[in-house]
Structure 1
Amino acid sequence: MGLYQLIYQSQSLVPFEKEEIVTLLAGCRAYNTTHNITGLLLYTPDGRFLQMLEGEESTVRSLYLDKISTDPRQFSCRIYSEGPALKRSFPSWPLGFRNASADVLRTLLSNVPPDRHGLLVPRPHTRPELMKLLQEFLANGEVKASQEDPWTRTSGREPAY
């Protein structure tokens, strides 16, 4: 088996204080180092987590299914994207951490406008798109929502009905 990435969101039962985040990160980083897992954890003031994990598929899936999704401190665990990867996005981070606003999280998890190929239904970000947005957030502290409106494109094509 090869490198695997998994991105999920969850909601904490009560917002974590700084000391609780520090304790959580220490335990997660120790576990991830031992199990060759890297990744990133975002946390919002309203208690939402967005985490990207990468490592051996069985190890990452076991961590999510056996530990994360059953953690009694949180609920509404939802996988947004998972699958094989060619390389690690965070190779030197046993678990990077950033605080994020609710707006940032909303942008990361929002649907994108319909594709240009005649689809009229919005779709979730693909994993590469989401990874690009995460990298943008890390570099700039913000992400830009997709502004493309399929009804006002300047491609010269009319929208499909």
Structure 2
Amino acid sequence: MYHLLYQSLALASFSLSELLELLQKSRAYNAARGITGILLHAPNGQFLQLLEGEKGAVQHLYYHRIAADPRHEHLVVLSEGPSTTPMFPDWSMSFRSGTGPLALPGYLAPSAAYFRVSNLPQAPPELKRLLLDFTAGYDDSPLAESMIGSRR
């Protein structure tokens, strides 16, 4: 098991339909290659993604596809290396939809992503903190606000 965590910034805003297309295509691509993890998107265009899987598959995805994608810039690898167990058993994506919860495979509402990350016992503390800060930082749902409020 291998992981790679990176962040980037979109060059242009993603519409809801573009985010849904990204969810669908990424989920299919990653499932075919045994890659799991989570992709988080904030309204300011920031992306944070954790990829998990076989080392060659994860590195190929990031270094040959994601890093070459012209839709974003300022890519920074925050963590990369061996992992003992996957933190996310499947691949998911979280973003604020603007239309409320979406019932789509692989979509996690930001409040659900926050809750899921907060309950990851196997995550290193620094990684868990980064994911929690990211998910907490862009969701204004009542559930997330109540959880965020309890952390302050």
TM range (shorter): 0.5 to 0.7
What are the residue-to-residue correspondences of 1:1-161 with 2, within 5 Å? Answer: 3-91=1-89, 93=90, 95-99=91-95, 128-133=124-129, 134=131, 137=135, 141=144
Q: Alignment partner of 1:49: what SS?
A: strand
- The number of residues matched between the two structures is 116
The TM-score with structure 1 as length reference comes to 0.64
- Mark the structure with the bigger radius of gyration: 1
The TM-score with structure 2 as length reference comes to 0.67
| Aligned residue identity for 1:97 | M
Mind listing any 5+ residue stretches in structure 2 that lack a counterpart? Answer: 97-122, 137-142
Label 1:82 to 1:99 Cα distance change in 2 as closer, same or farther (>3 A): same
| Aligned residue identity for 1:99 | F
Mind listing any 5+ residue stretches in structure 1 that lack a counterpart? Answer: 101-126, 148-161
Question: What root-mean-square deviation, in Å, do the aligned CA atoms of Structure 1 and Structure 2 show?
Answer: 2.6
Give the structure with the larger helix fraction: 2
- Kindly, what percent of the aligned residue pairs are identical? 38
| Aligned residue identity for 1:32 | N
